[in-house]
Amino acid sequence: MSESDAGFQTIPAVDLAIYRLDETKDVFTPAVAVYPDLVARNIDRALAFAKGHPERLRPHVKTHKTIQIVQMELERGIIRHKCATLAEAEMLIRAGVKDILVAYPVVGPNANRIATIAQTFPDVRFSALVDHPTSLIHLNAACRKANTKLDVMVDLDGGMGRTGIAMGPAAIELYRSIHEASHLKVDGFQLYDGNVEEPDPIKRQEIVDDHRERFISFIRDVEKTGLVVPRIVVAGTGTFPLWLKWADEEPRLEASPGTFVFSDWNYHCRFPDVEMVPAAVALTRVVSKPRPGRLTCDLGHKAVAADPLAAKRVHFLNLSSWEFVRQSEEHLVVDTPDADLFEPGDMLYAIPYHICPTCALHRELLVVRDGRVIDRWGVVSRDR
């Protein structure tokens, strides 16, 4: 491996034999292959962290955006789900989910859209998030217009500085405004801590413990005002096992990992203690060998997420080492001592560093079992 993974601990072996296709002649590239047995294993692993209590999990659908994986979770009793977009919410409804948290600020026309969806599906329990008084006023107006009532959580800033309001008097005031709004009901708090990237599990636990202590004291302050806190939604893949240690004491706790179903090379290396196995692989072919020692493959940034650093697009399973040269829309160029082993048309297997946006670049995922493509799953909610 040529890229620097300094700071990462030893990781469970990920062997090409698990992912290799026996027959590739009908497989168009670039593509994303998913391995349902590994997905099932990752979901079961999450359930093990939840000590077999599916109600302690609220997986985020944004990673895979497929009905089939939602159904695998439903079959295991995981009935609470989280999403970011209203297209994902609509897909969750189609999949039969009855408890949906839209964990993204709904503003502008989306306030009317969520109110209409909630009104159309009275048997589905929706919650929305707010982190600002103006969004709350708009959401309440939209629900009044649609003649529906919506559960609303306050989004707390877990240190990421992306969305959310700091724990403190203004957050309590916002929560009280939900209670006082004619068409909204208080539903608790979300604290997402995706900024916690500490690879050492002991230090990561200390960070989570610190967040938890501050959270407990904040919730006590909220309850002192007489307001109820029905649920507490926390965490992503890197921290959810650590938060779940609190679940025996705190029955309102729901942990909301997303990436865990597929994992990716970043999370797999960074959080080896979470023991999620990569369950999605980018399939790409050598398309050119422009000079000695160089391979160009069809894995441009229209086929694999471009948001990690350039050298960290993918981890190749069948190259012993490589140096990233460049990536353009349809090309990924690497220098590798293995170049002579490959001819144009040969397949490379590459685990993306960031799988969630990678999936969203593909209309469907190839479902692979025992070395064969057995199905295709639509990435249904990639269309907003």
Ligand X SMILES: Cc1ncc(COP(=O)(O)O)c(C=O)c1O
Binding site for ligand X (CB under 6 A): 60, 82, 103, 192, 194, 236-237, 256-260
Report the nearest approach of ligand X to the CB of residue 258 (Å): 3
As given in the structure block, the two tokens for residue 122 are: 């009275």
Closest to 14 in 3D by CA, of 380, 195, 279, 299: 279
In the complex, least distance from residue 164 CB atom to ligand X, rounded to whole angstroms: 9
Q: Which residue is nearest to ligand X (CB)?
A: 236
Residue (189 or 260) nearer to ligand X, CB: 260
Query: Taking the complex as a whole, how short is the minimal distance between the CB of residue 199 and ligand X, in angstroms?
Result: 14
List Cβ neighbours of 37 (8 Å cut-off, separation of 6 or more): 369
For ligand X, the closer of residues 103 and 172 by Cβ is 103
Report d(CA 19, CA 315) in Å as an integer. 13
Give min distance, CB of 201 to ligand X, in A: 15
Q: Taking the CB of residue 109, how many other CB atoms lie within 10 A of it?
A: 10
Q: Which of residues 186 and 261 has its CB atom nearest to ligand X in the complex?
A: 261
CB of 196 to ligand X, least distance (A): 9
Q: In whole angstroms, give the CA distance from residue 234 to residue 212.
A: 10
**Two tokens, residue 380:** 């249904």
Q: CA-CA distance, 28 to 36, in Å (whole number)? A: 20
Output 296 or 358, the one with its CB closest to ligand X: 358
- Rounded to a whole number of angstroms, the minimum distance from the CB of residue 321 to ligand X is 28
Residue 186 CA to residue 179 CA, distance in Å, equals 6
What's the chain's Rg over C-alpha atoms?
22
CB 265, CB 278: distance < 8 Å: yes
As measured in angstroms, the least distance from the Cβ of 240 to ligand X is: 7
C-alpha–C-alpha distance, residues 71 and 66, integer Å: 9
Nearest residue to 111 (alpha-carbon basis) of 94, 93, 129, 98: 129
Q: Which is nearer to ligand X, 35 or 271 (CB)?
A: 271
Nearer to ligand X, 30 or 158 (CB): 158
Beta carbon nearer to ligand X, 59 or 300? 59
